[in-house]
Amino acid sequence: MLQMRWIRTAGLGALGCFLGGCAMYSVAGQFEDTGMAFYGRVTVSPVDIGMLEVKTADGSITCSGTSRVTERGSLTSNVGAQGSATATCSDGRTFKVDFMQTTEGGGHGQGIDNRGQIVKVFFDMSATSARARLDRQRLNGLVQ
């Protein structure tokens, strides 16, 4: 039953992308236990359902999952939108991240994986900006 609901929901999302366009964000994140960074994208349909695809820089681990906006800041702006994403990775890791959109172009999130480790993510319309936000966070961690 859950699988059929997901297929219907994903189908609505794909139809929404076709009819109204999707928002695409670049994602940069890090598994804190290993310090390993990952990069990819999330595509969000007009009905606030998304598909997440990321992989580590060396391509050794890939993760895919879904995202969903659960709360909108306002009807006229994406700023303040909140939601969650879940993913399953090729190394057996699963994670859930709660996120918040802090600008029209992007935001950040944090969560935990099935190993009890923190996962941090940054997303932005620009891949360069998403990576820069991750790099800045990583440097701040080294300085502290």
List the domain range (segments joined by +) for residue 61: 2-143
Q: How many CA atoms lie within 13 A of 110 on its CB side?
A: 6
For residue range 35-52, list pLDDT tens digits in order: 899 999 999 998 999 999
Q: How many domains does the chain have?
A: 1
Position 19 scores a pLDDT of 54
Tokens 């390993």 -> residue: 36
Identify the CATH number of the domain in which residue 114 sits: 2.40.128.120
Tens of pLDDT along the chain (144 residues)? 333 333 444 444 445 465 557 899 999 999 998 889 999 999 999 899 999 999 999 999 999 999 999 998 788 888 999 999 999 999 999 999 999 999 999 999 999 999 999 999 999 999 999 999 999 988 876 766
- Count CB atoms within 10 A of the CB of residue 7: 10
| pTM of the complete model | 0.82
Q: Which amino acid is at 65?
A: G
Q: Which residues, including other chains, have CB under 8 Å from residue 92's CB and lie 6 or more apart?
A: none
